[in-house]
Amino acid sequence: MSAKIVAGSLLLATLLPLLSCQQKRTSEAAELVVVSYPGEAQTPYRKFLSDPFEKAHAGVTVRLVPSESEDVVAQIKATRGISPYDVVTLGEPRQISAVQEGWVEQTPRADLSNLAQVYPQFISACKDTGVPETYSLIGIAYNPEKTVAPKAWTDLWKPEYKGKLGMTTPASNLGFGVVVMTAKLFGGSEDNLAPAWPKLRELGPFVVAPSPEALAQLFERGEVAIAPLWNNDAAILALHGLKLKFVQPAPGAIVVVSCMDVVKTSGQVQLGRQFLNDEISAGFQSKLAQAPWYFGPTNRGVAIPAGSSEYIPATADDLSHATFFDWAAAVKHRAEATEQFDREFSR
C-alpha cells in the first residue's frame, strides 16, 4: 500500500509541473508578452511604450522579450498552438512567411486609430495584418581608423577590404538582404539569387557571425573593419564610443520594414491590438527616431531629428533613394539560400 502511495505521489510530482505549464499562459491574464529587440535597442520600447502602456492599463504587465525573428518563428512553431508570445516584431521577410503560414492575426483596421497617419507603402509592406512599426536600413559600417569609406555596395569587392570584412548568414534578415542585393547588383533579381554565389565567394575570406548582434560585437573586438550592418546597431556602437561610421551605399541602403503583429493563439488579442496602435503613434515613433536608436518612423507626423541623416533618410525624397526589395519574391528562396550559404562557406 505504502509503495502505491509513494509511486502515486511521485507520478503526481512529475506531472504537476507539466500541468501548471499548460495553465500558466491563461492564468496570467494581465500579462502581455511582446517580442522586442535585444540590447540597447530595447530601451525606447521599455521607456516610451511598455511603461506608459502599463500605466494606462491598470493591472496589465508588459514583458519585453529580446529575440531574433528566426528564433521567434522557431519557438512559435515548436509550441504548436500555445505561443509563448502575444505580440511579435518581425522583419518584412519573416512577416511574409508568418502571414502565409497563418499564425498572425488580421488586426481590424478600425481598432488602429493611428493607422491613418502611417505611410501607405509601409502598411502594404506588412500585408495589412499587423502594423509597420518602424523601418531600418541595411548599409555598410566601417571603422575609419582601420579602413577607408566605401561609397557603393560594389566597393566591398575592392582589394583594400580583403580580409577585413564581416558577414552574417541569410538566416538573419541582414544576411539575406546582402545576398539579395549581391544578386541584384550582378545580374540577378529577388527571384534569381544564383548570380550572388560566385560573387560572394570572391569576397572571401570573411568572418561570418551567427547573428547581426554578434556581427556588431565583432567590430568592438576588432575582428572586422567593415561589414553590412543595420543602421540602428551601427548608431548604438558609435554612441558607445566605437570608431564606427555608417554609409548608405549606392544604389541605396536596403529598407526593411519591421511589422508588429498579434499572434493568433494569444490570450490577449484586444490588449495586443491596443499595444499595436500605441506603437504607431507619432509620440512614440518620434522617440524611436532619436539618437541613438534611429529607427525609421512610419508615421507621417514624425519630424526626423536634425543631424540624423547618417543613419536615416531625412526626407521623403531621401527615402525614395533607398532600395526597396520585392521581399515576397525573395522569401521563396530563403531556406534554399540559407542552406547554400552554409555549404558554400562551411569550414
Partner 1 sequence: MTRFRSSIAGVAPAVLFTTVMAALPLLLLFGLGFLEIDRGAFTGRISMHGYAAIFTDPFYAQVFLRTLAIAGTVTLLCLIFGYPIAYVFHRSGGVWKAAVLLCVLAPLLTSTLVRSFGWMVILGREGAINQTLLSLGILHSPVEFLFTLKGVLIGLTQVMLPYMVIPIMSSMETLPPALEEAAVNLGASRWQVFWNVIVPQTLPGIAGGVSLVFILAFSEFPVPALLGGATFKTLPVYIYQTMATLLDWSRGAALASMLLIGSALAVYLLQRIFRRLMPWAS
Binding flag, residue 160, partner 1 (CB under 8 A): no
b/e burial code for range 302-330 (CB count within 10 A of at least 16 → b): bebeeebeebbbeeeeebeebbbbebbeb
- Of residues 73, 236, 259, 302, which one binds partner 1 by CB under 8 A? 73
Binding flag, residue 97, partner 1 (CB under 8 A): yes
Shortest reach from residue 13's CB to partner 1, in Å? 9
User: In the structure grid, which three cell numbers stand for residue 160, read together?
Assistant: 583594400
Closer Cβ to partner 1, 100 or 124, answer by number:
100
Closer Cβ to partner 1, 115 or 224, answer by number:
224
**Cα distance between residue 224 and residue 147, in whole Å:** 10
User: In the structure grid, which three cell numbers stand for residue 181, read together?
Assistant: 542585393
What's the CA angle centered on 137, arms 136 and 140, to 5 degrees? Answer: 145
- Length of the chain as a residue count: 347
- Of residues 171, 193, 247, 263, which one binds partner 1 by CB under 8 A? 171
Binding flag, residue 147, partner 1 (CB under 8 A): no
Closer Cβ to partner 1, 143 or 248, answer by number:
143
User: In the structure grid, which three cell numbers stand for residue 179, read together?
Assistant: 545576398
Contact call for residues 262 and 130 (beta carbons, < 8 A): yes
Shortest reach from residue 54's CB to partner 1, in Å? 31
Shortest reach from residue 264's CB to partner 1, in Å? 13
Burial of 13 (0-12, 13-18, 19+ CB in 10 A): exposed
Closer Cβ to partner 1, 200 or 288, answer by number:
200
- Of residues 118, 126, 200, 209, which one binds partner 1 by CB under 8 A? 209
Binding flag, residue 143, partner 1 (CB under 8 A): no
Judged by CB under 8 A, which stretch of 35-43, 53-61, 219-227, 286-294 contacts partner 1? 219-227
- Of residues 28, 31, 54, 70, which one binds partner 1 by CB under 8 A? 70
Q: Compute how many other C-beta atoms are within 10 angstroms of the C-beta atom of residue 343.
A: 9
Closer Cβ to partner 1, 16 or 291, answer by number:
16
- Of residues 46, 77, 201, 240, which one binds partner 1 by CB under 8 A? 77
Closer Cβ to partner 1, 31 or 70, answer by number:
70
Shortest reach from residue 119's CB to partner 1, in Å? 30
Q: Give the closest residue to 135 by CA, choosing from 285, 321, 331, 277.
A: 285
Binding flag, residue 21, partner 1 (CB under 8 A): no
Closer Cβ to partner 1, 299 or 338, answer by number:
338
**Cα distance between residue 93 and residue 171, in whole Å:** 11
- Of residues 39, 222, 251, 301, which one binds partner 1 by CB under 8 A? 222
Contact call for residues 35 and 65 (beta carbons, < 8 A): yes
Binding flag, residue 28, partner 1 (CB under 8 A): no
Q: Sign of dihedral through CA atoms 47, 50, 51, 53?
A: positive
User: In the structure grid, which three cell numbers stand for residue 240, read together?
Assistant: 558607445
User: In the structure grid, which three cell numbers stand for residue 36, read together?
Assistant: 522586442
Q: Which residue has the cell 512553431?
A: 77
Binding flag, residue 11, partner 1 (CB under 8 A): yes
Contact call for residues 203 and 157 (beta carbons, < 8 A): yes
For 54, the 3-state DSSP assignment is helix
Binding flag, residue 6, partner 1 (CB under 8 A): yes
Question: Residue 158: what are its φ and ψ, rounded to 5°?
Answer: -75, 150
Residues that bind partner 1 (CB under 8 A): 3-4, 6-7, 10-11, 14, 70-71, 73-74, 77-78, 97, 101, 168-169, 171, 207-210, 214, 221-223, 335, 338-339, 342-343, 345-347
